[in-house]
Amino acid sequence: MGFALSSLQVRSSAFGTHEPIPVRYTGDGDDVAPSIYWQGAPEGTQGFAVICHDPDAPLISPGSYGFVHWVYYNIPGEVNGLEEGSEAYTNGVTDFGRQAYGGPMPPEGHGLHHYYFWVLALDQALNLEPGLTLWQFLDQVEPHVIGMNRLIGTYER
């Protein structure tokens, strides 16, 4: 299937689709990952991953765009959500340079930013090493993505 939206549904108890992300979940607040829940995974799903990306951020490197706030993987197929502040699975490296969720912190006066919380359904329970960048992670999981969808939140400073 590759990277195409599926019937997977994604929600959070912290904010709704296209609604502002509360300060608690940002770099201006407690910088804790919000709860993320999903349902309707495709048949054959054996694992999940979650990515948070801000495509409105200024370019950070040639060949890339936006800013990566979370790369979280090795989530078992029987899991259907993450509680606030989840640390039970594996973190990749964000564009903050650390292996942890990093909440929204757009430049002041840069306008409204959109944060895409992607959930990927995988056809295998992958056991990937910690610390992968988004691009290293995507190189390894792309052949295994059988469904995906996202929740979009907003934030402005």
CA–CA dist 99, 50 (Å, integer): 14
Q: Residue 16: what pLDDT?
A: 97
- Domain map (residue ranges) of the chain: 7-153
- Cα(51)–Cα(143) distance, integer angstroms: 17
Question: What percentage of the chain carries pLDDT values higher than 70?
Answer: 94
Mean of pLDDT values over 96-125: 96
pLDDT for the residue numbered 3: 60
Architecture of domain 7-153: Alpha-Beta Complex (3.90)
Of 1-5, 47-51, 75-79, the poorest mean pLDDT is in 1-5
Whole-structure pTM value? 0.94
Q: pLDDT band for position 58 (50/70/90)?
A: confident
Question: What is the DSSP code string of 44-95?
Answer: T--EEEEEEEETTSPP-STT--SEEEEEEEEEETT--EE-TT--SSEE---T
- With 70 as the cut, is the pLDDT of residue 96 above it? yes
Give the per-residue pLDDT at 62.
Answer: 58
